[in-house]
Structure 1
Amino acid sequence: MLSTALQGFLVSIGLIIAIGAQNAFVLKQGLKQEHIFWICLICAMSDAILIFSGVFGFGQVVQSHTGWVDIAKYAGAIFLFLYGLQHFYQAFVKKHSLEAGGKDESSLLRVLLICLAFTWLNPHVYLDTVILIGVISTQIDGDKTHFAVGASLASFIFFFSLGYGAKFLQPLFKDYRAWKILDVCIGFLMWGIAYSLIS
């Protein structure tokens, strides 16, 4: 049981740990200390739903209905382009620091909707989490449930570590210029991922 769960954990953490749009969003919210628990919970729960779906056969449905992936691809690209544009605006127009961050805190609903968009409008999530993990799960000897639990646990540990661990970088982000650099990096990351989706 433990070895099967560990296999799922290692496969999942290897896919999640790569720098992506969702991770950048969680990191920034962690730096701002805004709604961290709910953001991490939404990300981890979404991953768990997708992982269990993939392990128990939904990956075959996704592969046979590629139109859904195409819809997510273009909707996700538009979302990422606009979100990247917002970060460029923040970098070059808005003076931002940790002290100022609390004065214009985003509403919980707005932040959660953005968080859900990062997860469910990202076709890479379906390809990696649903299809790839689903396919790998068919190769294991142990119980698929244990494999899915291990993979889901990796998501919970990663997102909560990223969200709450970001506070250790807060001293650096007392300077508004650090925020500008972060916003520019996130902006280019979002545009790069958007381009990769449609190219």
Structure 2
Amino acid sequence: MSTYKQYNQPFARVYSSETGIWGDHILTEAPCEISRKPAVQVGGCLYWLSIGDNILEFDLGEHSLTVTRGPPVADGILFRNCQIIQAENGAVGYAVLSYPRFEVWQRSISAHGVATWVMWKTVDMHTILRLPHPHDDEMSVQLLGYDEDDAVFLCYDGSVYMVQIKSMQSKKLNEIHSTGNRCFPFKSFFTPGAAIAGRFGAAMLQIE
């Protein structure tokens, strides 16, 4: 996935590891400036955040690329505090950290293929992180990353918290201090030819 910088026109190419061949360019006419956050897979599609209120969607089965509207997020929300997630029943979700609230939207598709966004849940940040009142500066809490197994990572006062989206229960990750603004969660890794003997706990790669 990339964009023609002059026009902010996204395009994609699919690589086959079986044949070693790159496919044709797949274009969308609508301009869209992709964020630096990684794509999120929900069902058979990959989704990227776009600067503004759009979402870039790539269908892995159809090899089609489209730009769709995101939820009606209030103006002034810091873009880094938005995140595409997987909501209930495999639907596309959109999390917004609008301090002091944490909002989660869910996309609904009608029988006629019309997409609408509905509010799934909204929670007070002090309830999630068990923080004392008041911290009214929206910079005091930042959304760092997303684990597709139902967790987001938030930073408060240099410490990182893992928050389960469905339950809104939080856990402070001890001895982890954030100095950057993006994290890429992962659970395990292995070298080629080596078997994984078990599942490891959550970890993060932090980009400063």
Using the size of structure 1 for normalisation, the TM-score is: 0.23
More helix by share: 1
Using the size of structure 2 for normalisation, the TM-score is: 0.23
Higher RCO (CA < 8 A, seq sep 6+):
1
